[in-house]
């Protein structure tokens, strides 16, 4: 039997308060009104704008219309993107789509900003119908009725965070699921006739499609010479993916597991000067074998995006190139460790080994590998470049000397595009 799930947008799929509040403040300022308090802003999401300017800010009808103009001016250029997808929402949508459920949006927002937001956050591809307010009119019952499937036996759900969604659904004769992670309380949803209530997107997916499995996530890695700014960029990328609703698991090599962290200590300990290149390569591989099985594979299977600070490429570059074991030997040593688990995409922060040396010298205490001489790092750099030349489509290569924000923006765009494509 055909199944349709219709979602409200603000407060249900996206947490839109940041942009909405910034625009309300901007409109107040432009109109010469005092800035709204936190209390006022909390009541802002849900009711029509004109109503809020009049009743929450005390404007006259005429002032409210002018304020709405100001609000929209900022919202349409900036405010709509000051938004985030709730954690777990992407996986809920992916789960439903895999299970063959048809999905749509029923929102009180105007069409242009709705479509832009869905597009920007990579959510439009999940939606077969998008119903928006026209000329400020947003009667949810009518909007739901306008997309009801022809087959009267079809199962249809309206999912939303406010009473308007539940009341509209009840009047249109469809099932209603209230979500308590948005702006309406459980009590508000229950009073409005919600048939079921979900506290998380995972619970919502289970109610809408019992037993459906979460599709698998993705595995990404970040690589670069020591001093290339990897830690900063990893942090920035994690924040961006989080804003877009990906469930991110950040991890690192060597390490990431209790066993791996112990191996890391041995590897980086400056006392272990007698360690042979083979021992070193096998220890990195051993830590990796544990990491892949204990952490990476289970997280990807649970729908997470795993972002790993260094992976197999580091061994190829450092032990294969730096220690001169050769690419093929290092790959052979690592084959049983990775067992075919490789990143979908690798970000390489490209920095000349001399610049890397200068940055490392500025750091206070160097570990055993960082202490290596310039020619070692020159071979590591060469190793990376050879890897990238072999398999360019797997890499996003970014010049690490640029402005931090620009680098973060370039990485974000490339990684999100690939993740959207893989969904």
315 binds ligand TMP (CB under 6 A): yes
Residues 6+ apart with CB under 8 A from 168: 106, 139, 140, 141, 143, 144, 158
User: Judged by CB under 6 A, which stretch of 60-68, 144-152, 195-203, 314-322 contacts ligand TMP?
Assistant: 314-322
Nearest to 155 by CA among 210, 114, 236, 87: 210
Exposed e or buried b per residue across 168-188, where buried means at least 16 C-beta atoms within 10 angstroms of its C-beta: bbbebebbbbbbbbbbbeeeb
The site string for ligand TMP over 351-370 (x = CB under 6 A, - otherwise) reads ------------------xx
Tell me the closest approach of the beta carbon of residue 316 to ligand TMP, in angstroms: 8
226 binds ligand TMP (CB under 6 A): yes
First to last CA, the chain: 25
Whose Cβ is closer to ligand TMP: residue 88's or residue 227's? 227
The DSSP secondary structure of 193-225, one letter per residue, reads T-SEEESSHHHHHHHHSTTPPPPP-EEEEEEE-
How is residue 5 written in tokens? 């799930």
> Would you say 46 and 107 are in contact if contact means Cβ atoms under 8 Å apart?
no
Positions 237 through 266 that interact with ligand TMP (CB under 6 A): 252-254
> Would you say 227 and 363 are in contact if contact means Cβ atoms under 8 Å apart?
yes
Nearest to 230 by CA among 400, 405, 61, 375: 400
Q: What residue ranges in 263-319 does DSSP mark as E strands? A: 305-309
157 binds ligand TMP (CB under 6 A): no
Whose Cβ is closer to ligand TMP: residue 213's or residue 363's? 363
User: Judged by CB under 6 A, which stretch of 27-35, 46-54, 151-159, 312-320 contacts ligand TMP?
Assistant: 312-320
> Total residues at the site for ligand TMP (CB under 6 A)?
12
Positions 276 through 305 that interact with ligand TMP (CB under 6 A): 284
Tell me the closest approach of the beta carbon of residue 368 to ligand TMP, in angstroms: 8
Tell me the closest approach of the beta carbon of residue 312 to ligand TMP, in angstroms: 7
Whose Cβ is closer to ligand TMP: residue 93's or residue 349's? 349
Whose Cβ is closer to ligand TMP: residue 226's or residue 247's? 226
Residue 144 CA to its chain's centroid (Å): 29
348 binds ligand TMP (CB under 6 A): no
The DSSP secondary structure of 14-65, one letter per residue, reads EE-HHHHHHHHHHHHHHTTPPPPPHHHHHTTSSS-HHHHHHHTT---HHHHH
318 binds ligand TMP (CB under 6 A): yes
Positions 111 through 140 that interact with ligand TMP (CB under 6 A): none
Residues 6+ apart with CB under 8 A from 126: 93, 94, 96, 97, 103
User: Judged by CB under 6 A, which stretch of 89-97, 152-160, 178-186, 307-315 contacts ligand TMP?
Assistant: 307-315
User: Judged by CB under 6 A, which stretch of 111-119, 189-197, 295-303, 311-319 contacts ligand TMP?
Assistant: 311-319
Tell me the closest approach of the beta carbon of residue 226 to ligand TMP, in angstroms: 5
Distance between CA atoms of residues 232 and 247, nearest Å = 19
223 binds ligand TMP (CB under 6 A): no
381 binds ligand TMP (CB under 6 A): no
User: Cis bond leading into 261, ω under 30°?
Assistant: no
Whose Cβ is closer to ligand TMP: residue 106's or residue 306's? 306
350 binds ligand TMP (CB under 6 A): no
In the bound state, the residue with its beta carbon closest to ligand TMP is 318
> Would you say 315 and 281 are in contact if contact means Cβ atoms under 8 Å apart?
yes
Residues 6+ apart with CB under 8 A from 184: 11, 46, 161, 162, 163, 178
Which one among 15, 90, 291, 310 touches ligand TMP, defined by CB under 6 A?
310
314 binds ligand TMP (CB under 6 A): yes
Whose Cβ is closer to ligand TMP: residue 134's or residue 231's? 231
Torsion angle of the four alpha carbons 227, 228, 234, 236, in this order, in degrees rounded to the nearest 10: 110
Q: Which residues bind ligand TMP (CB under 6 A)?
A: 226, 252-254, 284, 310, 314-315, 318-319, 369-370
């Amino acid at each position: 039997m055909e199944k349709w799930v219709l979602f409200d947008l603000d407060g249900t799929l996206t947490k839109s308060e940041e942009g909405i509040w910034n625009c309300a403040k901007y409109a107040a300022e432009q109109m010469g009104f005092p800035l709204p308090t936190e209390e006022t802003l909390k009541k802002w999401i849900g009711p029509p704008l004109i109503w809020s300017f009049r009743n929450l800010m005390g404007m006259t009808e005429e002032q409210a219309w002018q304020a709405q103009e100001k609000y929209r001016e900022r919202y349409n250029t900036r405010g709509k993107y000051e938004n985030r997808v709730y954690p777990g929402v992407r996986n809920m949508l992916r789960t439903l789509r895999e299970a063959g459920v048809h999905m749509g949006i029923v929102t009180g927002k105007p069409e242009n900003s709705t479509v832009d937001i869905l597009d920007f956050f990579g959510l439009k591809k999940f939606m077969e119908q998008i119903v928006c307010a026209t000329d400020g009119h947003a009667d949810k019952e009518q909007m739901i009725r306008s997309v009801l499937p022809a087959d009267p036996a079809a199962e249809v759900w309206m999912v939303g965070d406010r009473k308007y969604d539940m009341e509209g659904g009840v009047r249109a004769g469809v099932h209603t699921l209230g979500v308590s992670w948005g702006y309406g309380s459980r009590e508000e949803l229950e009073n409005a006739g919600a048939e079921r209530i979900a506290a998380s997107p995972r619970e919502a997916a289970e109610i809408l499609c019992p037993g459906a499995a979460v599709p698998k996530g993705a595995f990404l890695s970040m690589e670069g010479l020591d001093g290339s700014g990897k830690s900063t960029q990893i942090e920035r990328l994690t924040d961006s993916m989080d804003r877009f609703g990906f469930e991110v698991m950040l991890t690192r090599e060597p390490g990431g597991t209790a066993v791996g962290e112990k191996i890391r200590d041995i590897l980086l300990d400056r006392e272990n000067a007698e360690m042979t290149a083979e021992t070193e390569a096998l220890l990195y591989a051993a830590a990796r074998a544990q990491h892949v099985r204990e952490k990476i594979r289970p997280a990807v299977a649970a729908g997470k995006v795993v972002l790993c600070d260094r992976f197999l490429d580091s061994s190829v570059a450092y032990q294969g190139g730096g220690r001169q074991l050769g690419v093929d030997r290092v790959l052979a040593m690592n084959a049983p460790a990775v067992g075919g688990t490789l990143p979908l995409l690798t970000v390489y922060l490209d920095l000349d080994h001399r610049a890397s040396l200068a940055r490392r010298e500025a750091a206070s205490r160097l570990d055993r590998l960082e202490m290596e001489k310039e020619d070692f790092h020159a071979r590591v750099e060469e190793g990376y470049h050879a890897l990238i030349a072999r398999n360019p489509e797997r890499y996003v290569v970014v010049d690490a000397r640029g402005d931090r924000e620009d680098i973060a923006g370039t990485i974000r765009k490339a990684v999100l595009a690939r993740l959207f494509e893989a969904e």
